[in-house]
Structure 1
Amino acid sequence: MSQQAPPFLKAAGRMLNAGQTRTVLLTGNIHDLFYQKKKNEEDYVSLLPFLLHHWDLPNFMLLVYELNGPIRFLHPSHREAMKKAWVGWRRGLNNEQMAIQRMLHKGAVDDEKAIAESFERHLQEAIGNPTLALEMLRQMCLCSRSRQGSKPSLKANLLILIEGADLILPEAPIAQMGDMDRRRVTICQDWFSDQDFLRSGDAVILLAESRSQIHHRIAKLPYLLESEIPSPDEAIRKHFISWFNRHLSQGEELKLWSSQSQLATLTAGLSLQALLQLLKGAIHGKEKLQPVDVVAKVESFIQSQLGDSVVEFKKPEHRLKDVVGFTKLKGFLNQELIPRFKMGGKASLPGAAVCGPIGSGKTFIFEAVATEMDMVVLVLKNLRSQWFGQTDVIFERLRRVLEALSKVLIFVDEADTQFGAIGPNAHETERRLTGKIQAMMSDPRLRGRVFWLLITARIHQLSPDLRRPGRVGDLIIPVLDPENEDRQAFLKWVIQPVLGRKLKPDELEHLLREIGDLSAAAMASLRSELKARQLLRKAEALEMDAILEVVHDHLPAAIATTRHYQTLQALVHCSRRSLLPDPEVTETERTQWEAEIRELEASGIR
C-alpha cells in the first residue's frame, strides 16, 4: 500500500486549502488504526499521531489539545515562537521595540518574563480545564492574526487539533447545561464564526465520532464542515493482515484455514483494532484460525458497537421446506424473491415489505428465507435511545457497519413500531430517523449489498415514503391465512402427529368444520395443546374423540375484527397480482376493500 493520503484526509485538506472553512470535524471511525510509513519503517498508529505525521508541514504550527493533557506543540521551536509572539502581542510591541525596552528599562524585562511565565502556566492549567484551554487557543488565533509593526506576529499558520470534541462540547439542552459547559459553547461559537478567523490561514480540527454528539449550536454552524472516516475496506484489511504477518516475532506463525485474501473478505465489518485482537488471539492460541472464529468476532464486534438492544445476529435453522402450507407463496419466494436478493447491482431488490394479520406466520416464513439466502442476517431491534442525541449516533454506526459488509439482510420485525411516520405530529427524532433509513434504502451504493426485510401486521402505518417504489415498495408481500389445500396441510400437520396415522377424508372434513378459520399461529397453538394432552395421558396416540374434545374446547382469541382489518390492508397494499388469492381481482373489488377499511376505522379499528 502506497503512502497516499486517504480520502477523508484529502477531503479535509481540500476544504481548508479552498478556503471553504477554517473548522473541520473529523467523524466516523476515529478510534481505529491507520497506516503510516516513515522512511523505511511501516506501522499502524492511532488517528492523532497519523494526523500529526501528515500535517507536519513547513507552513503550519501544529498544536494538540487532549482533555487529559496540556496544550502541546508538535515541535519545541513552535512553542518558543508562539510564546515570543504572545509576549509581544500582550505588550503591544514588536520584536525591535521589545529589544529597545529591555535595554532602557529593567522593569520591561520583568514584565516580559511575567507574560512568558503566564503563557507556560496557562498551557499546563489546560489539563482537565477545557474551558480555559479553548479560550487560550482562541486567543492564540487572535495573536496569530495580529501584526507587530509591519510584520505578522507569526510566520506560520496555526493548525489546532482538538480531541474528544464530543466530551468538551457535548450535545444537551441549554437549560440542562452548567455554566462552564455554556461558556465553552459560547467560546467556540464566537471563535468559529469570527470573520477575521474565517479569512485567516489558521485552522481547527475537531475529532468526534459523530456530528450528532457535538452541541447543536456548534454542529449547525455553516462554517463547520465534516469529513467522515469510513470503516476499513477489504483492501485495507488485506494490507493490515499482510503487515501483521510480516512483523511477527521469531517463532510466531499466523495459521489460517485459507488465504489472507479470504480472511480479509470474511472480516468485513471489523475495525483494524478488532482485527488486530482477532489475529493476536490466534497467535497466542497457536491454533489455525477458522471461519467460525472470524464470524463470531465480527458478530461480537458489531453488537458491541451498536449495542445488544439495537441489533442481534439471527441464525434460523429452519428452511422453506419446513414451512407448512403457503404453496404459492413459497414458489414465489424460491423463484423470484431469493434470486432477486442474490443479484447484484440495479437488478437487485433493495428490499421487501411483508404484511398480513397477526399470527399469519410472517416471521417464521421469512426466517426460513433468511436461512435460504446464506448471508449475514442482522435483526434490527431498536434504533432509539433514551439518551439525548444518541439515536442519531446509533444510526450513523449502523450505516458505517452496513457500508463495510459485503452482503447483509436487515430483518425488521414489527417494522411499523421501528419506523414511524414523518408527518407534522411526529417527534423530530422520529422524523429524522425515518428519513435517514429511507435515504439508506434507496442509496445506489448499497443496492445489491444491503437488503431490507420489513415485517409488519400494520403495513398502513409504515411511512408512505418507505412503501414507495425504489424502497421496500418494489415488493409488498401479503401473508394470509391458509385456504383450501394449504389449510388441509396445516390441519394434517396439527392432528396426525398425535393421532399416529393419516386422517381419513371424512375425519378431515369434520375437523375442518370444527376448527373454523384459524390462523397459522392458532394452528401451532392447537398442535402444542394436543401434544401436551398426549404426554399427560402417557399415550402413544390420541383417539379421534379425544382430539375432537380438545378442538371443541379451543376458543379463538377475540381479535377477529382486528385481523380482518389487517388482512384488508395487506390486500390493498400488495404490489403483485400473482400474490393475491384471486390474481384477476377487479378495481371494483379493490374499491370495496378500501370502503370496508374506512367502515372499520370509523368504528375504532386501526
Structure 2
Amino acid sequence: MPVSSPKTETYLDALPAWARELSEKYYSRSYALFLLSGNVRDLVQLRGAEGTDFVPIEDFLFNALFGQRDLVLHYDRGGLSFGSSDSQADFRRALEGYDSFHGTNYAQGGVPRSPDAVLNLLDNYLRLRIADGRKIGLVIDFAETIVPAGDMSSMSAEDRNSLVILKRWARNPAFLNADVTICLVSENQIEVNQGIVQQPGVASLSIPLPEYSERLDFIRVQLKKQPLPAGSDVSDESLAKLGAGLKRVQLQSLISHAVQNRQPLTMKALTEHKKELIEGESGGLLEFVQSRFDLSFVAGNEQAKRKLQDAAAAIRAGNTDVLPMGYVICGPVGTGKTFITTCFAGEIGIPAVTLKNFRSMWQGVTEGNLERVLNLLKAMCPIAVIVDEADAQLGDRSSSGDSGVSNRVFAQIAQFMGNTELRGKVIWFLLTCRPDLLPVDLKRQGRAEEHIALFYPDTTEERLALLRAMQRKIGMLPFSADVETFFIQHSGSLSGADIEAVLVRSHMRSSLQHKAAVDAEDLKAALEDFIPPSYPTEIDLQNLVAVLECTSKGLLPKQYRDIERGDLIRRANELLALSRSTSGG
C-alpha cells in the first residue's frame, strides 16, 4: 500500500469498513500482521474502474489491497500459491538459492508439508526480499490449523514453532518499516491461538455479515443479471430485509436456485430456505421457533401478559430504546414459560430462535460455536433468543476442571448481552424454574433486567380462562357451560401443563369412541385417571424463588405481595435444605 495521499483517501473510501480499517492501521506503521475473522467465507464487494464485482476474500485481498505489490503469496495446509506467475518464478529462484545453501531439494521436490517448515522458508524469503526493497503481501488462510488454540504445554512442537515465527513477524521492526502485509484468515477468532490474538503487534479485525444496504446492493446486481421467474412475490427490498443473517453467497444461491429451476421465489419459500440456511450455518445450535400463536392464546398471568403486550407494541412502533435488554421468565414447572415466550414472538412478528446446547467436549470448539452463534444473532436483528433451562445452559464463571472454558464462555455471553447497541434488537428470554441458580451477572440491570414470574391459576376465573385457552391451543371444540363447571369443580390445583394433559387424554377417549366432541363422561374419565406429578417441596421452592426474583410487585399473587422479604428468604432456605436432604437420601 502506498504512502497516504488524496488519491489514497479516495481509494480508502471505496473499501468496505473492515478493509478501510486494515489499511488505516497499516498506514500507521504500527502493524504488519493482521488477523481477519468472522464472515471470511463470503463474497466481498470490489469496486473498480469497470464497475462493481463481488469476489472471494482471497481475490479481494490480492486485487484491492495487494494490487500494487511486487510479490503476492497465499498459504494454507494445502500448499503455497501465488498472485502471479512472476511471484511464483521469484519464489522458485529464492528456493533454489535456499537449496544450494542448506543442501535441501525443495525447488525440485516441492515445499515441505509441515506448516512450521513452510513458515521457516517464508521467513527466509521475506527477509531476502525486504532487503531488496520489494513490496510483499502474504495471506495465510485457515490460520486455526496453523496455530490452533490451546495451552502452550499441550501444543505440538510443530505448532509451537509456527507460533514463535508468527510472533516474531508481528514485532519485527524490519517488517513494520517495509511494505509488507501479512493477513491471517480464520472464521472463528477463538479457534486461533491466543498467543497470536493477544499479541500487541497483531491487529484483529472482524468481518461482519452484510447489513441491509449491502444485501440490497448485492441483490440488485444479481437480479439485473438474472431476474426472478414469473410468479415470484419477493421484491429486492423484501429479499434484502428477510435475508438478515445470510451471507452474499447464500443470497446468490437462493436467487440462482429459483432462476435455474424456474421456480418462483415466494415469501413462504424464502422463509423456509432461510430457516434451513441459518440452522445449517449455526451447526444446529440455533433452531427457529415458528409460533402459530400470539399472546391472545395466553390465559392467566394477566399482568405478565400485559407487560409483554406493551413490549410488543413498543417494538412495532420502533421504540426499541424503551425495552429491557432481556427477560428472565421464571416460575414452577408447568406454568407455561416456553408457551408465553413463543406467543410473544408470534405477537411481534420478528424471528425467534432457541439457543441449543453449544458446549462440546473438544477444546476450543465450545467457544468457536458460541462466537459463530453470537455473530449470527447480531446479523439477524431484530430477533428474540429463547434459552430454556437457562440456569444449566449458560453456566457461570466457574472454571474448575475445564481449562477455563466455562469462564471464557460466560464472559462471551455476558459481554454480548450487555451490549446496549443491541437494545430492542436482540431480546433475550432466559427461562428457568430456578432463577436463584442463574448468575447475578446475567440477570442484573443492563442484561436480562426484567424478571417476570408466572404462577399456577389461583382463582376460578383463571382456571376457566386457562381451560378455554388450552382448548384453542390443541384445536378442541368449546365445552358447554355444564361441562366447564364440572371441570372447574374437579380440576383442583392442576397446572397449565396438567390441564393440557387431561384434555389430550379426554380427546383421545372421545376419538376412539367415534364421538363428535368431548363430553362430560370423557372428561370425568380423564380426570379420575390422571395423577399429577407430585413433588410438593420442589414446587413450593420454585414458587418462592420466583416471588423473590420477580421485579414487579403487580405480577405477584395477592398472598405474596405483603409478606416480609426476610420471611420469604428464610422459608426458601428451609425448603432448599429439605430438598437437598430428600434428594441426597
> Shared fold by TM > 0.5?
yes
Match of 1:416 in 2: 391
Judging changes above 3 Å, is the alpha-carbon distance between structure 1 residues 49 and 118 closer, same or farther for their aligned structure 2 residues? Answer: farther
Match of 1:337 in 2: 311
Could you say what secondary structure the match of 1:325 adopts? coil
Write out aligned runs for 1:189-588 (5 A): 189-194=167-172, 197=175, 201-248=179-226, 255=230, 256-308=232-284, 310-334=285-309, 336-342=310-316, 343-423=318-398, 427=402, 428-473=404-449, 475-484=450-459, 485-490=461-466, 501-503=480-482, 507=486, 510-511=489-490, 515-535=491-511, 548=524, 550-582=526-558, 585-586=561-562, 588=563
Q: CA deviation at 1:480?
A: 0.2
Give yes or no for the alignment of 1:56 onto 2:34: no
Check whether the contact 1:476–1:574 (CA below 8 A) recurs between aligned residues: yes
The CA distance in 2 between the partners of 1:191 and 1:53, in whole Å, is 23
The CA distance in 1 between the partners of 2:424 and 2:121, in whole Å, is 51
Judging changes above 3 Å, is the alpha-carbon distance between structure 1 residues 263 and 347 closer, same or farther for their aligned structure 2 residues? Answer: same
Q: CA deviation at 1:583?
A: 9.3
The CA distance in 2 between the partners of 1:321 and 1:266, in whole Å, is 26
Bigger mean CA deviation after superposition, 562-571 or 361-370: 361-370
Residues 546-598 of structure 1 deviation map (CA, whole Å, 9 limit, x = unaligned): 75565355433221110110110111111111111139933x52221111011
Check whether the contact 2:471–2:478 (CA below 8 A) recurs between aligned residues: yes
Check whether the contact 2:463–2:488 (CA below 8 A) recurs between aligned residues: no
Match of 1:104 in 2: none
Check whether the contact 2:114–2:158 (CA below 8 A) recurs between aligned residues: no
Could you say what secondary structure the match of 1:391 adopts? helix
AA matched with 1:503: D
Structure 1: give runs of 5+ residues left out of the alignment. 91-112, 146-152
Match of 1:150 in 2: none
Judging changes above 3 Å, is the alpha-carbon distance between structure 1 residues 222 and 583 closer, same or farther for their aligned structure 2 residues? Answer: farther
Q: TM-score, normalising length from structure 1?
A: 0.83
Check whether the contact 1:71–1:126 (CA below 8 A) recurs between aligned residues: no
Match 1:44 to one of 48, 54, 68: 54
The CA distance in 2 between the partners of 1:292 and 1:535, in whole Å, is 33
Match of 2:119 in 1: 134
Percent identity over the alignment is 24
Residues 287-309 of structure 1 deviation map (CA, whole Å, 9 limit, x = unaligned): 4321122222222221111122x
AA matched with 2:345: A
Structure 2: give runs of 5+ residues left out of the alignment. 1-9
Judging changes above 3 Å, is the alpha-carbon distance between structure 1 residues 118 and 79 closer, same or farther for their aligned structure 2 residues? Answer: farther
AA matched with 1:362: K
Check whether the contact 2:33–2:201 (CA below 8 A) recurs between aligned residues: yes
Could you say what secondary structure the match of 1:410 adopts? strand
Bigger mean CA deviation after superposition, 566-575 or 214-223: 214-223
Residues 521-540 of structure 1 deviation map (CA, whole Å, 9 limit, x = unaligned): 12222223333444555666
The CA distance in 1 between the partners of 2:400 and 2:411, in whole Å, is 15
Q: CA deviation at 1:359?
A: 1.2
The CA distance in 2 between the partners of 1:324 and 1:536, in whole Å, is 29
Q: CA deviation at 1:313?
A: 0.7
Match of 1:107 in 2: none
The CA distance in 1 between the partners of 2:559 and 2:573, in whole Å, is 23
Give yes or no for the alignment of 1:121 onto 2:99: no
Judging changes above 3 Å, is the alpha-carbon distance between structure 1 residues 86 and 23 closer, same or farther for their aligned structure 2 residues? Answer: farther
Could you say what secondary structure the match of 1:12 adopts? helix
Check whether the contact 2:196–2:202 (CA below 8 A) recurs between aligned residues: yes
Match of 1:93 in 2: none
Q: CA deviation at 1:465?
A: 1.2
Bigger mean CA deviation after superposition, 406-415 or 548-557: 548-557
Check whether the contact 2:334–2:497 (CA below 8 A) recurs between aligned residues: yes
The CA distance in 1 between the partners of 2:262 and 2:486, in whole Å, is 64
The CA distance in 1 between the partners of 2:521 and 2:471, in whole Å, is 12
Could you say what secondary structure the match of 2:292 adopts? coil
The CA distance in 2 between the partners of 1:360 and 1:391, in whole Å, is 32
Check whether the contact 1:85–1:143 (CA below 8 A) recurs between aligned residues: no
Judging changes above 3 Å, is the alpha-carbon distance between structure 1 residues 9 and 60 closer, same or farther for their aligned structure 2 residues? Answer: farther
Match of 2:569 in 1: 594
Check whether the contact 1:421–1:461 (CA below 8 A) recurs between aligned residues: no
Bigger CA radius of gyration: 1
Match 1:154 to one of 132, 142, 149: 132
Residues 438-486 of structure 1 deviation map (CA, whole Å, 9 limit, x = unaligned): 222221222222111111111111111111112211x111110001120
Bigger mean CA deviation after superposition, 188-197 or 558-567: 188-197
Match of 1:68 in 2: 78
Check whether the contact 2:325–2:420 (CA below 8 A) recurs between aligned residues: no
Judging changes above 3 Å, is the alpha-carbon distance between structure 1 residues 437 and 296 closer, same or farther for their aligned structure 2 residues? Answer: same
The CA distance in 1 between the partners of 2:51 and 2:257, in whole Å, is 25
Check whether the contact 1:571–1:580 (CA below 8 A) recurs between aligned residues: yes
Q: CA deviation at 1:490?
A: 4.0
The CA distance in 2 between the partners of 1:242 and 1:340, in whole Å, is 32
Match of 1:188 in 2: 166
Q: CA deviation at 1:392?
A: 1.8
The CA distance in 1 between the partners of 2:516 and 2:228, in whole Å, is 58
The CA distance in 1 between the partners of 2:575 and 2:116, in whole Å, is 60
Could you say what secondary structure the match of 1:228 adopts? strand
Q: CA deviation at 1:203?
A: 3.4
Check whether the contact 1:534–1:541 (CA below 8 A) recurs between aligned residues: yes
The CA distance in 2 between the partners of 1:347 and 1:40, in whole Å, is 47
Q: CA RMSD in A?
A: 3.4
Could you say what secondary structure the match of 1:421 adopts? coil
Could you say what secondary structure the match of 1:44 adopts? strand
Judging changes above 3 Å, is the alpha-carbon distance between structure 1 residues 217 and 125 closer, same or farther for their aligned structure 2 residues? Answer: farther
Could you say what secondary structure the match of 1:63 adopts? strand
The CA distance in 1 between the partners of 2:401 and 2:114, in whole Å, is 40
Check whether the contact 2:464–2:488 (CA below 8 A) recurs between aligned residues: no
Could you say what secondary structure the match of 2:343 adopts? helix
Check whether the contact 2:143–2:185 (CA below 8 A) recurs between aligned residues: yes
AA matched with 1:44: F
Judging changes above 3 Å, is the alpha-carbon distance between structure 1 residues 524 and 262 closer, same or farther for their aligned structure 2 residues? Answer: closer
The CA distance in 2 between the partners of 1:571 and 1:192, in whole Å, is 55
Q: CA deviation at 1:405?
A: 1.9
Bigger mean CA deviation after superposition, 136-145 or 373-382: 136-145
